[in-house]
Amino acid sequence: MSYLDPALFSDDAIPPETRTLNEGIIAATANMADWWAVGAQKVRDARERGEGVFPAPAKSDRARWIEIDGPSGKIKLRVIAPEKSRGVYLHIHGGGHVLGAADQQDRLLEHFADTARLTAISVEYRLAPEHPFPAGPDDCEAAALWVSDHLRDFGGDRLAIGGESAGAHLAALTILRLRDKHGRAPFHAANLVFGVFDLGLTPSARAFGNERLVLRTLDILKFGEAFLPGLDAEQKRAPHLSPLYADLRGLCPALFTIGTRDALLDDSLFMHTRWVAAGNAAELAIYPGACHGFIAFPCPQTFQSLQQQAAFLNATLGG
């Protein structure tokens, strides 16, 4: 018997609010310019102004910036602390390794700070295409090493890591880099939300097509070209690039979150299975009909997912 419930993948399982949200996203993005056509910085600036399909980023008056030394200069970290912290949630934002910023999800950082009692720290890593691999992963690695060395400065001894989309990919790479390059296993939990784990494209990523529901097959290909210029699909599957193919033994418990109308569905299904097969604890949360990036939009599945992510962190970290 399959451990997956087929009912999760049925059209009948999709909540009406999710259908409405998906239809609205498709309509809103029908004539949207592609970032590679107008330039990545122009799209980044538009997102900062709240233009486009994603809600305008609300800034928190609780947030502060700190700077640490990185491999090519200073790395900025966005910090939001709870009233009493028991450790750190190291967050890595999404955006295809090309878009996004550490200060564009303050409400999400507040959520984890308050519900998991962790100081939420988001990494302002370098972006492609101006800074292709290994710039972004190098910055995330440096941030993780610094945070693990200064963990008690933030009020506790527990360390979790997480991110969305490309951020989940970078979080997985960071876990592996600290183990393989530094002999460290500082993380107690990983919260990996609609991540990309095979940069050569899983079957669902290849088959998704051109439906403009946040992330199309073409978008994945263009992001991959910016992040890993000049590499073909098989080269992109090298274990140090695509964590789906890495040695996953000895890693922390993880929660994988994915929607069934996400081009990256197989990435989470496959990665969850490999994580468990390697002897690690893992949970898989599947949201019927949810699209890529769904937790950025106010809908019942968003609130359910955010509660589940916090519950996972609390149950795994204990205390």
d(CA 66, CA 205): 37
Q: Which of 165, 204, 242, 305 is catalytic?
A: 165
Residue 31 CB: number of other CB atoms within 10 A?
7
Helix (H, G, I), strand (E, B) or coil at 37: helix
Instruction: Please name every residue paired with 64 in a beta bridge, in sequence order, or none if there are none.
Output: 79
Q: Which of 262, 267, 272, 305 is catalytic?
A: 262
Residues 6+ apart with CB under 8 A from 236: 199, 200, 224, 228, 242
Q: 212 in the Ramachandran plot: left (φ > 0), alpha (ψ -120 to 50) or beta? A: beta
- 174's enclosing H/E stretch is helix 166-182
Strands 87-92 and 158-164: parallel
Is 262 in the active site? yes
Q: Which of 91, 97, 169, 292 is catalytic?
A: 292
Is 165 in the active site? yes
d(CA 82, CA 114): 5
- Residues catalogued as catalytic: 165, 262, 292
